């Protein structure tokens, strides 16, 4: 028989070896934890320190109990299963039990419990958390998966990071709840038609957070309140970022910056990409190619340009820092085989960002070699970290095995640099990362979608990814405009792809051109990675240049609007780009739309994502009138129109009466 008790604002349930904790955690939200260990693990993971409890009500009646916090109530039945409802009594989520044990509503001979902590021989537990399906539900969020699916209902998702994949396990449902899987273990989630199942290969406890609200905006704000708000985006970051793989030396980079300024083109950030260092893990400029970094930074700042520098977490065995870091235990460890995890241009292993002492060591090197030279923004590449072989069971961190805690790595990588920059007095730090986990946004993480292909199919996938990341609570997102792998500057079809991607990029949180283009030149130093071809806006012919130039200036014209949108993000957790569902949850056609999005509250963007397309259908949500930013024509909402889209134009519509000026 279970024992139910109250401890402060927490409900405790103990039965056999399981202890279950349920407590308020933020407004209209509950945190649920369960373990079969002697003591409940104390890590908060993605969640910040315990916030204000709110108006909690706990009732215990024999073997039954309930906990209410604002809009959400959970009831605990006699058998221990949980049912969540909103303030109107509508069902949000219900654990799925298929057992004959007394007290369960669904009597079954299958003997499959809803919560299952299955012992691992000689170790901890394999975890399964099963919920009943919500038929007709749509699920938005979950991070970055190269599957093109905006609605994650029906998807099976690996809870693990890879190059171009970021598992951010927070989702918002059209049923009116948000759900965070607060567990950094490697695993899987299935949003099936017959069940929702969360799975962790190895863990010590079940831990999730759930909130209820009438609007997606309310859910997003509640989530930001308990996992952290993004800093305010710096003004320079709202402009255009110029990047390629890679500017080989100081003079080559400065020549591109001078050309931008000489042509009168807007530019805010330019990038020194990888292998500007002697060896991975040296974390410094190679003086053979960058002889005077201070002078480079100074000249760029005089032109109004910030310099972003690429940092990799890997340490080459030839690095000047390898021996010391290995001796002090600052590197990730392999359980078997050679002590390396990557062999790209050297035998390397990543530093252990989950180790506070390792973070201090890395920042001390970064501060000396970069920060003290005037660099205020970093490109934290390989943030998963990437493995040559993704054998997650072969790696161990300061905090535990990769299988148990590996997904937290990119958040700790971001925290490493964020904490160092804040300690130096820098306000609103921002750094570019290739990966994120829940809570990364509070460390100023701007995420991009990895080393992707150069096709229209890939562009369509990035559209879905950008919206999924935003709905997963990572509001700062960007992509390699034009894709990463390949792209022939002289190919007319590729030029069209680049133009369409550039137009989409102008309406992303960060506007950044990058890629490993064809027609490049070899590295001047044999031991280093090579360099791609030209990737400046004037590299694609006069027609393309004229169009790209227009969108550079359009982005500048949007700055006042962007500043307002970014402040909403900072203060309220509102995503910058979001599905139509976010702003129009009562409009069934808007909820179903998967080819347009809102950029802030007042701009509806309908990207062109197919070769040769010169018009497309656009649904204009009900409740507003919409101004065509190309023609000026005003349309009533609640209808689908055919929008013109010549090569020069991306269909954009302005909510009538909004204080924003855009001419596409």
Q: Residue 154: count other Cβ atoms within 10 Å of its Cβ.
A: 11
Tell me the two tokens of residue 446.
């701007």
- Catalytic residue, chosen from 451, 530, 536, 656, is 451
| Helix (H) or strand (E) segment spanning residue 467 | helix 456-471
Structure tokens that stand for 601 in this block = 């509250």
Q: Where are the alpha helices (DSSP H) in 524-617?
A: 542-557, 559-572, 580-583, 588-592
For tokens 């200036």, the residue is 553
**Distance between CA atoms of 591 and 32, rounded to whole angstroms?**
29
Neighbouring C-beta atoms of residue 252, cutoff 10 Å: 12
Rg (CA), the chain: 25
- Rounded Cα distance between 615 and 593, Å, is 17
Task: Write the CB contacts of 334 (distance below 8 Å, at least 6 apart in sequence).
Answer: 340, 341, 349, 394, 395, 396
Q: What angle do CA 456, 138, 178 make, to 5 degrees?
A: 110
Tell me which of 124, 126, 221, 384 is the catalytic residue: 384
**Which position among 381, 402, 583, 594 bears the catalytic label?**
381
Query: What is the CB neighbour count within 10 angstroms for residue 416?
Result: 27
Strand partners, 74: 67, 84
Report the C-alpha gap between 319 and 298 in whole angstroms: 28
**Range list of β-strands (E), 62-213:** 64-69, 72-76, 82-85, 91-94, 115-119, 125-131, 139-144, 156-159, 166-173, 177-181, 187-191, 196-203, 206-212
Three-class SS state of 174: coil
92-to-44, 108, 401 alpha-carbon distances in Å: 24, 23, 34
**What are the angstrom distances between the C-alpha of 394 and each of 352, 406, 437, 523?**
14, 11, 21, 34
The verdict on whether 451 is a catalytic residue reads yes
Other C-beta atoms closer than 10 Å to the C-beta of 255 total: 12
- Counting Cα atoms < 13 Å in the Cβ hemisphere of 77 gives 16
Active site residue 384: yes
Tell me the catalytic residues. Answer: 381, 384, 451
């Amino acid at each position: 028989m279970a024992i139910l008790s109250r401890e402060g604002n927490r409900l405790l349930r103990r039965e056999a070896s399981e202890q279950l904790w349920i407590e308020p955690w933020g407004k209209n939200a509950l945190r649920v934890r369960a373990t079969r260990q002697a003591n409940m693990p104390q890590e908060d993971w993605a969640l910040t320190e315990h916030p204000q409890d709110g108006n909690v009500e706990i009732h215990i009646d024999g073997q039954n109990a309930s906990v209410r916090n604002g809009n959400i109530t959970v009831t605990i039945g006699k058998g221990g299963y949980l049912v969540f409802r909103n303030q109107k009594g509508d069902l949000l989520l219900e654990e799925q039990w298929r057992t004959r044990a007394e007290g369960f509503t669904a009597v079954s001979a299958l003997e499959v419990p809803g919560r299952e902590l299955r012992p691992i021989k000689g170790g901890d537990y394999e975890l399964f958390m099963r919920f009943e399906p919500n038929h007709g539900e749509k699920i938005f969020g979950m991070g970055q998966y190269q599957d093109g699916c905006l609605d994650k209902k029906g998807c099976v998702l690996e809870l693990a990071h890879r190059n171009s994949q970021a598992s951010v396990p927070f989702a918002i449902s059209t049923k009116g709840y948000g759900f965070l899987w607060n567990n950094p273990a490697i695993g899987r989630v299935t949003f099936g038609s017959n069940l929702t199942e969360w799975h962790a290969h190895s863990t010590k406890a079940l831990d999730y957070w759930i909130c209820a609200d009438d609007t997606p905006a309310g859910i997003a704000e509640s989530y930001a309140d308990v996992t952290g708000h993004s800093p305010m985006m710096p003004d320079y970051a709202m402009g255009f970022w110029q990047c390629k793989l890679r500017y080989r030396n100081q003079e080559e980079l400065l020549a591109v910056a001078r050309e931008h300024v000489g042509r009168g083109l807007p530019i805010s950030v330019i990038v020194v990409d990888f292998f500007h260092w002697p060896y991975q893990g040296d974390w410094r400029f190679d003086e053979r190619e960058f002889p005077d970094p201070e002078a480079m930074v100074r000249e760029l700042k005089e032109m109004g340009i910030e310099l972003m520098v690429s940092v990799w977490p890997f340490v080459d065995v030839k690095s000047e820092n390898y021996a010391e870091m290995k001796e002090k235990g600052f590197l990730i460890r392999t359980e078997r085989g050679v002590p390396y995890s990557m062999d790209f241009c050297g035998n390397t292993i990543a530093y252990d960002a989950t180790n506070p002492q390792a973070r201090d060591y890395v920042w001390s090197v970064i501060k000396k070699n970069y920060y003290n030279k005037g660099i205020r923004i970093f490109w934290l590449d390989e943030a998963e970290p990437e493995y040559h072989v993704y054998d997650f069971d072969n790696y161990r961190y300061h905090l535990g095995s990769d299988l148990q805690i590996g997904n937290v790595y990119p958040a700790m990588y971001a925290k490493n640099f964020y904490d160092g920059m804040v300690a130096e007095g820098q306000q609103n730090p921002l750094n570019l990362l290739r990966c994120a986990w829940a809570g990364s946004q509070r460390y100023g993480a701007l995420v991009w979608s990895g080393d992707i292909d150069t096709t229209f199919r890939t562009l369509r996938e990035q559209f879905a990814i950008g919206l999924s990341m935003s709905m997963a609570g990572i509001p700062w997102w960007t992509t390699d405009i034009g894709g990463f792998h390949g792209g022939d500057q002289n190919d007319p079809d590729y030029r069209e792809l680049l133009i369409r991607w550039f137009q989409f990029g102008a309406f992303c949180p960060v506007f950044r051109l990058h890629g490993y283009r064809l027609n490049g030149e070899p590295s001047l130093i044999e031991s280093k990675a090579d360099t791609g071809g030209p990737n400046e806006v004037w590299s694609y012919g006069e027609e393309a240049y004229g169009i790209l130039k227009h969108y550079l200036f359009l982005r500048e014209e949007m700055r006042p609007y962007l500043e307002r949108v970014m402040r909403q993000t900072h203060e309220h957790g509102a995503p910058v780009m979001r599905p139509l569902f976010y702003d129009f949850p009562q409009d069934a056609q808007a909820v179903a739309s998967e080819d347009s999005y809102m950029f802030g509250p007042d701009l509806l963007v309908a990207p062109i994502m197919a070769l040769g397309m010169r018009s497309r259908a656009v649904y204009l949500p009900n409740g507003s009138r919409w101004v065509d930013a190309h023609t000026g024509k005003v349309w009533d909402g609640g209808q689908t129109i055919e929008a013109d889209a010549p090569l020069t134009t991306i269909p954009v519509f302005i909510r009538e009466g909004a204080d924003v000026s855009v001419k596409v």
